[in-house]
Structure 1
Amino acid sequence: MANPVIAEVTRGGRVESVHRGRVVAIDADGAVLFHSGDVEEPVYPRSALKLMQALPLIESGAADALGLSDRELALACASHSSLPIHVQTALAMLGKAGLDETDLQCGPHWPLNRREELVAMARAGDEPTRAHNNCSGKHAGFLCACVHQDLETADYLDPDADIQRQVRSAIDAVAGTTLGPDTCGRDGCSAPTYALPLDAFARGFARLATGQGLEPQRADAAIRLMRAAMAEPEMVAGPHRLCTELMSACGGRVYVKTGAEGVYVATVPEAGLALALKCDDGATRAAEVAVAAALMRALAAGHDLAPALAPFARAPVRDWNGVEVGAVRAVEPA
């Protein structure tokens, strides 16, 4: 059976396109608040997984030993926009561990979300470095954890490297999974990534948001990372991107993180809930409006966060003159 429509695109008062997907919301006790579509089918959360991947950075003691700031911890969970502040912060993290850009194993790329930054770099004759990779903060976090524990850094992206074993163990403990070679893929930044059921992913983030059901050390690490990301939303993505804009609009009360191919995870720690969604065709435009609408649905009617969330559940479609001709809007499955 096909997954339900979670977003539609209108033009001239008619529905022009639809996007199907699945979504699940879970409370701190692990109970499903609502779901639609096949939420037990494994998906790659991609970059939405990053906070889980950053747990060893805290749990190993590396963050404290190296004096990492909230801004640096937020970058460890980020898919950043390659702005100077992002690149400089990644390099600062490496510097604290006695490393530099050459130790990163994520490939270089031009800024993906900021045309202005790309043009400025090109006009200046600059070339992107590995620190410009939108995942450089995550990689810097891996390396900081390696250095603090005297682990080999040359193979830090090998799925069997000590740091990746720690990451995998943390994900399993939080999400209740048993990850292995059959669930492992390679992400765009070359790091190992894992497929897990969407409901297990959401359940893991409900635990991370509240600490409920986690060992005290892990609960503290999770809450510290999430608070850092919510306090420094500009480090998690960048201007005009949903993760940054929605967290900013909600005043540090909501955590939201995108993953490639139409994935989102979101939590409201004070409400003890988390949700995850996957757009079947990988469309970001659909996932963005759907995650905002799902957050509103998960919260009680009349919740004071609703006015901040509502604008994100609809995105205008404009012609080249800037005139609004339609919209991308969330659809609540029946």
Structure 2
Amino acid sequence: MTRGKRTQSAELEVRLLREGIVESVHRVQAVVADNRGRTLSVAGSAEAATFVRSALKPFQALAVTTTGTLERYGLNDRDLAIMCASHQGTVAQARQAFNILWRCDIPPSALQCPIPAGKRSPLEHNCSGKHAGMLAVCRQRNFPLSTYLQRNHPVQQLILTKVAELLRMPPAEFISAHDDCGAPTYFMQLAQMATLYARLASGDNLDMERIVRAMTHHPSLISGNGQFDTELMRLSEGELVSKAGAEGIQCIGRIGEGLGLAIKAVDGAKRAKHAAAIYLLKQMGWITPALEERLTEIFMTLGDYKRLEVVGELSML
């Protein structure tokens, strides 16, 4: 990761307009980086740090793609896609997570993600695919199943090693905390998140290329119909890979070009990160005007009387 002087510019503002009058304002920071770890443009601070949350999932899936786990248990791209998902717990999504466990001869009771409110099984939790993937690696490597969420567990250390290699940092420098699902997540700069997605989308690594293919070929598994990640990947037809994280995190990679975008809505608002993403994708020329219009209709028009607008620009470095 290239580290230079601190990069600071004006943050974006996402405004909620009620019949054209500003009612609420969200502040948003964003960074664009390339696959060499260079920060190319920024709104706010490139060094702003927060937890990557579920935007880490494609990189947690590297523990599966790099260990022969897919091949040993006959897992396919749909299985890999659900490992990268923050899904809605639909029947199809829960069944896909179950398929991973079934092929690895692991009971669903081994999942340690919570049972969502009003649901009956941890398979319906939005992170069940990620957990099933971690358990599959444990089965493949004969790691203990019962402690797979502990930071010092071999599967978590394997994931940390993969992320550290991508960012060219010592694993010991990472700060971790438990995500809501119980798995470790990492505290990192927006520039580092953007670099991860630039490397994911670069096409330079076969394991990450397979993860990207799984996500973009099966976008309905990643979040769900009408959800941002699913709709962006579906409508961009394989040009963008997208993964959200909680508390205002959104990361996007431009496939084949080695460019990554990381966004943080400072107050954690989902609507703000979606609006900022659409605005910046248009500004950078990553989406067509027709696609920008469609995404705006879905995610920025909030009713007959309310809409979102974004004010500000990325500063080039």
Q: TM-score, normalised by structure 1?
A: 0.86
Gaps of 5+ in 2: 1-7
Q: What's the counterpart of residue 135 of structure 2?
A: 143
Q: CA 1:178–1:277 in structure 2 vs 1: closer, same or farther (change >3 Å)?
A: farther
State the one-letter code of the partner of 1:78.
Answer: A
For 1:234 and 1:333, locate their aligned partners in 2 and report how far apart those are by CA, in whole Å.
31
For 2:61 and 2:151, locate their aligned partners in 1 and report how far apart those are by CA, in whole Å.
15
2:141 matches 1:161? no
Indicate if the aligned counterparts of 2:11 and 2:312 stay in contact, CA closer than 8 A.
Answer: no
Number of residue equivalences = 305
1:289 aligns with one of 275, 293, 312: 275
For 2:173 and 2:116, locate their aligned partners in 1 and report how far apart those are by CA, in whole Å.
28
2:185 aligns with one of 164, 172, 193: 193
Q: What's the counterpart of residue 309 of structure 1?
A: 292
Deviation of the 1:312 alpha carbon? 2.3
For 2:58 and 2:16, locate their aligned partners in 1 and report how far apart those are by CA, in whole Å.
31
For 2:13 and 2:144, locate their aligned partners in 1 and report how far apart those are by CA, in whole Å.
44
Q: What's the counterpart of residue 68 of structure 1?
A: 75
- 1:39-54 correspondence to structure 2 within 5 Å: 39-54=46-61
Q: What's the counterpart of residue 222 of structure 1?
A: 208
- 1:1-334 correspondence to structure 2 within 5 Å: 4-110=11-117, 127-180=119-172, 183-212=175-204, 219-299=205-285, 305-313=288-296, 315-318=300-303, 324-333=304-313
Identity %: 30
Q: What's the counterpart of residue 121 of structure 1?
A: none
For 2:174 and 2:218, locate their aligned partners in 1 and report how far apart those are by CA, in whole Å.
35
For 2:51 and 2:73, locate their aligned partners in 1 and report how far apart those are by CA, in whole Å.
31
Deviation of the 1:181 alpha carbon? 8.1
For 1:155 and 1:309, locate their aligned partners in 2 and report how far apart those are by CA, in whole Å.
45
State the one-letter code of the partner of 1:327.
Answer: R
Deviation of the 1:177 alpha carbon? 3.5
Q: TM-score, normalised by structure 2?
A: 0.91
Gaps of 5+ in 1: 111-117, 119-126, 213-218, 319-323
Indicate if the aligned counterparts of 1:211 and 1:223 stay in contact, CA closer than 8 A.
Answer: yes
State the one-letter code of the partner of 1:293.
Answer: Y
2:278 partner SS: helix
Q: What is the RMSD computed on CA atoms of the aligned residues? A: 1.9
2:256 partner SS: helix
Indicate if the aligned counterparts of 2:14 and 2:308 stay in contact, CA closer than 8 A.
Answer: yes
Q: What's the counterpart of residue 113 of structure 1?
A: none
For 2:174 and 2:258, locate their aligned partners in 1 and report how far apart those are by CA, in whole Å.
32
Question: Deviations for 1:284-325, whole angstroms, at most 9, x for unmatched residues?
Answer: 0000111122222233xxx6634213432461122xxxxx11
2:306 partner SS: strand
Indicate if the aligned counterparts of 2:30 and 2:263 stay in contact, CA closer than 8 A.
Answer: yes
Q: CA 1:174–1:188 in structure 2 vs 1: closer, same or farther (change >3 Å)?
A: same
For 2:108 and 2:173, locate their aligned partners in 1 and report how far apart those are by CA, in whole Å.
29
For 1:198 and 1:150, locate their aligned partners in 2 and report how far apart those are by CA, in whole Å.
35
Q: What's the counterpart of residue 3 of structure 2?
A: none
State the one-letter code of the partner of 2:189.
Answer: P
Deviation of the 1:179 alpha carbon? 4.4
For 1:253 and 1:182, locate their aligned partners in 2 and report how far apart those are by CA, in whole Å.
31
Q: CA 1:179–1:42 in structure 2 vs 1: closer, same or farther (change >3 Å)?
A: farther
For 1:96 and 1:12, locate their aligned partners in 2 and report how far apart those are by CA, in whole Å.
54
> 290-299 vs 269-278, which deviates more?
290-299
For 1:298 and 1:31, locate their aligned partners in 2 and report how far apart those are by CA, in whole Å.
17
1:33 partner SS: strand
2:305 partner SS: strand
Deviation of the 1:14 alpha carbon? 1.4
Indicate if the aligned counterparts of 1:6 and 1:333 stay in contact, CA closer than 8 A.
Answer: no
2:25 partner SS: strand
Indicate if the aligned counterparts of 2:54 and 2:245 stay in contact, CA closer than 8 A.
Answer: yes
Q: What's the counterpart of residue 215 of structure 1?
A: none
> 87-96 vs 244-253, which deviates more?
244-253
